[in-house]
Structure formats: C-alpha cells, structure tokens
C-alpha cells in the first residue's frame, strides 16, 4: 500500500484553464519568455502519445543514423522537455539554453500555452497524437510509476478525470483540436501513433522528408531497427531507467509498457467504454480528425 504519495490538488492546479503540474508553472516566466531559434525543431504531444518514440526517431535523423551517438545520453537530456521543472532535479529551459543549435525541443503544451517565440521564429513543429482510449490507459500506468504523482483510486475514476480534463496538460480533446488548427500551417506536421504502428517505414520517410534530408534505404533501415519497441525497451537511454529513482518506480510498471494499439480493450469495462465514447462524440463533433483505436 503506497502511503507517501501526495494528494491530487497538492500537485496539480489550474493554469489558464489547463490543469498543470504546479512545479512546472511556478517559474512560468522562464517558459513564456523562452527564446526559440529559427532552426529549433519542436516535438509536441499530449502525454503518453509516443513522444519518446518519435523523439528517438528524430534524433536518429539528426545524427544521420549513428546509434552510438544516440546512446551517449538519455533521451530527456538529448531532447529536453521545455516546461519540465523539478527544482534542482530537472530544468528543461536551462538544459535548452545550454544546447548548441540545431536543437530538438520536446513539449506537451497545448497550442495556447506555447511560448510565442516558436511562432515568431517560424520553427518547424511535429505534432504526434494517439487515440484517446489508449492514451488514458498509458497515462493511468504513468501515474502509478511517477513517485510524485498521486495514485488514481481506480481506473474508472482516472478515466472520469481524463474526460473532465482534470489530468496534467488538461483536456486531450482541446489539445488535439488546438494543434489540429495549427497544422494548417505547412511548418506543422500532424502525425498519428497508429500510423506509425501500421507502417513505420512510411512514417519515418515522411519525417525525414519533412526535415529536408535524404531518406536513403540504409538510414531508414537503421532508424527502424534502433527505434523498435523491443530495442527501446532494452535501451537505458530510452526506457527511463536513467531518470532518478526518486522520481520514477519502474518496478511498478515499465515506462516502455506494451507499445500497442488497442490495449484499452483490456481495461475498459463495457459500460465505461460506452460512456467514454458518447462523451467523445460530443467533445469531437466539430473536429474532422479521425482516430483509429484498432488496426
Ligand atoms: P504504452 O503505455 O501504451 O505501452 P510517451 O513517450 O509520450 O510518454 O508515450 C509512452 C507510450 O509510447 C507508451 O505506451 C510506450 O510503450 C509507447 N512507446 C514508446 N516507444 C515505443 C515504440 N518504439 N514503439 C511503440 N510504442 C512505443
């Protein structure tokens, strides 16, 4: 029985209508005034949508398929998380300021909270999304392993919170819709986790072309091999085992958990699935983005 975990609203609080980790918003001025560089590449996801996967792929593209270079440090040091802040343990802004160009920046922010300089500098942006039911399952396990996150009372209670937008980074629905609007800009590439699962070669080529590099068969092969679920699960630089133990408990569940489409089927009781889908239709009725929850 876990007793040392904090209460929900001790950790999270409303920030401009978005539930956020209070440690991340405590020094918000640093985030808001962040100075993007024109050659920064921004990777945006709602949590648990495959950000680690796509980050590793993009880093492999930047490093021209050099696996050894990608194994020089943990993914969260190679591609810092912009807003991530935990007093002295992690400071995304500081990490980014110290990085040489071209930088790859990760964020989970909804479009309205993104620092203005990314738009002013016309940076390229990759937005990766994943179907809501698999996100909620993955997020539930993430709550269990993060030592400074409260434990959900049950899966159903967590799903209710998710539907209300009462999870960090707020409403998944608003997040997807806000970034879909932005993807009308050709500097923004909108991608789906399910497409990557369906045909990784096609999606890797798409990414390489978006980054204006040569998608040689050799490079694509190397990327696919190095970023497979099993490789990343066994790689300390991508499986989060390099995160301080004070932050994460990988004995409860691995970070690289299943990596599949449709795990929601093992978690949603029928009545909850129905409720979720009805609510989903309401939330997404004006949004043309269609997600696949099975392949
Ligand atoms: P599951 O919990 O469903 O397994 P993020 O990196 O945004 O936190 O997303 C984590 C999710 O992406 C986890 O989902 C994880 O297993 C999955 N993932 C990470 N790397 C992957 C890969 N190479 N292939 C497929 N899924 C991957």
Per-position DSSP letters for 95-107, written without gaps between them: HHHTSPSSPEEEE
How much is the pLDDT for 87? 82
Structural tokens at position 36: 């993007």
Contact 111/119 with Cβ under 8 angstroms? no
Task: Identify the active-site residue in 108, 175, 226, 267.
Answer: 108
State pTM to two decimals: 0.98
Position 256 in a domain: yes
Query: Does some domain include residue 2?
Result: no
pLDDT along the chain (295 residues), means of 10: 77 98 96 98 98 98 98 98 91 98 98 98 98 98 96 97 98 98 97 98 98 98 98 98 93 97 98 98 97 98
Domain annotation covers residue 224: yes
Q: Whose CA is nearest to atom 17 of ligand 1?
A: 259
What is the Cα–Cα distance from 259 to 255, expressed in whole angstroms?
10
Provide residues with CB under 6 Å of ligand 1: 45, 47-53, 134, 138, 141, 227-229, 232, 256-259, 263
The pLDDT of residue 15: 98
Q: How many A from CA of 231 to the centre of ligand 1?
A: 12
User: What's residue 88's pLDDT?
Assistant: 78
Strand runs (DSSP E) across the chain, as ranges? Answer: 12-15, 18-21, 41-45, 85-86, 90-91, 104-107, 124-129, 188-192
Q: For residue 39, how far is its CA from the centre of ligand 1 (angstroms)? A: 27
Q: What is the pLDDT of residue 1?
A: 46
Cα separation, 130 vs 261, whole angstroms: 9
CA of 232 to the centre of ligand 1 (A): 9
- Does residue 294 sit within a domain? no
Is residue 289, in this structure, part of any structural domain at all? Answer: no
Closest ligand 1 atom, residue 227 Cα: 23
Question: Is 255 within a domain?
Answer: yes
- Return the bridge partners of 127, or none: 44, 190
Q: How far apart are CA 43 and CA 54, in angstroms?
A: 8
Does residue 291 belong to any structural domain of this protein?
A: no
pLDDT attached to residue 251: 95
User: What is the span of the domain harbouring residue 212?
Assistant: 8-284
Domain total in the chain: 1
List all residues 6 or more positions away from 133 whose beta carbon is below 8 Å from its beta carbon: 264, 268, 273, 276, 293
CATH of the domain at 173: 3.40.50.300
Q: Catalytic annotation on 108?
A: yes
Distance CA 219, CA 49 (A): 24
Asked if residue 78 belongs to a domain, the reply is yes
Q: Is 140 exposed, middle or buried (0-12, 13-18, 19+ CB in 10 A)?
A: buried
Taking the centre of ligand 1 as the mean of its atom positions, its distance from the CA of residue 53, in whole angstroms, is 6
State the pLDDT at residue 89. Answer: 85
In eight-state DSSP terms, residue 172 is H
Q: Give 281's contacts (C-beta < 8 A, 6+ positions apart).
A: none
**For ligand 1, atom 2, which residue shows the shortest CA distance?**
138
How far, in Å, from the CA of 130 to the mean position of ligand 1?
10
Pocket test of ligand 1: the residue of 135, 235, 256, 260 to mutate, having most ligand atoms within 8 Å of its CB, is: 256
Are 106 and 81 within 8 A, CB to CB? Answer: yes
Q: In this structure, what is the dihedral angle of CA atoms 65, 67, 70, 75, given to the nearest 10 degrees? A: 100
Examine residue 102 and say whether the peptide bond preceding it is cis (omega within 30 degrees of 0).
yes
Q: Hey, whose CA ends up nearest to atom 12 of ligand 1?
A: 50
């Amino acid at each position: 029985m876990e007793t040392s975990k904090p209460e929900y609203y001790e950790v999270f609080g409303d920030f401009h209508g978005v539930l956020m980790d209070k440690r991340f918003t405590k020094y918000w001025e640093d985030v808001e005034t962040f100075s993007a560089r024109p050659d920064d590449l921004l990777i945006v996801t709602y949590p648990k949508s495959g950000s680690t996967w796509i980050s590793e792929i993009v880093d492999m593209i930047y490093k021209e398929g050099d696996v050894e270079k990608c194994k020089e440090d943990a993914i969260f040091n190679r591609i810092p998380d912009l807003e991530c802040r935990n007093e002295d343990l992690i400071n995304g802004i500081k990490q980014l300021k110290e990085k040489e160009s071209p930088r790859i920046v990760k964020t989970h922010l909804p479009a309205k909270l993104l620092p203005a300089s990314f738009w002013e500098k016309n940076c390229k942006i990759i937005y990766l999304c994943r179907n809501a039911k698999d996100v909620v399952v993955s997020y539930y396990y993430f709550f269990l392993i993060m030592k400074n996150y409260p434990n959900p009372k049950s899966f159903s209670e967590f799903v209710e919170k998710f539907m209300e937008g009462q999870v960090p980074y707020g409403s998944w629905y608003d997040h997807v819709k806000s970034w879909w609007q932005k993807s009308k800009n050709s500097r923004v590439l909108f991608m789906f986790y399910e497409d990557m699962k369906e045909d990784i070669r096609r999606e890797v080529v798409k990414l390489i072309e978006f980054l204006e590099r040569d998608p040689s068969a050799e490079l694509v092969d190397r990327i696919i091999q190095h970023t497979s679920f099993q490789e990343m699960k066994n790689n300390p630089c991508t499986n989060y085992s390099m995160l301080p133990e004070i932050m994460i408990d990988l004995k409860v569940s691995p970070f690289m958990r299943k990596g599949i489409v449709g795990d929601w089927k093992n978690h949603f009781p029928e009545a909850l699935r129905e409720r979720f889908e009805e609510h989903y239709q309401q939330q997404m009725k004006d949004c043309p983005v269609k997600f696949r929850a099975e392949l």
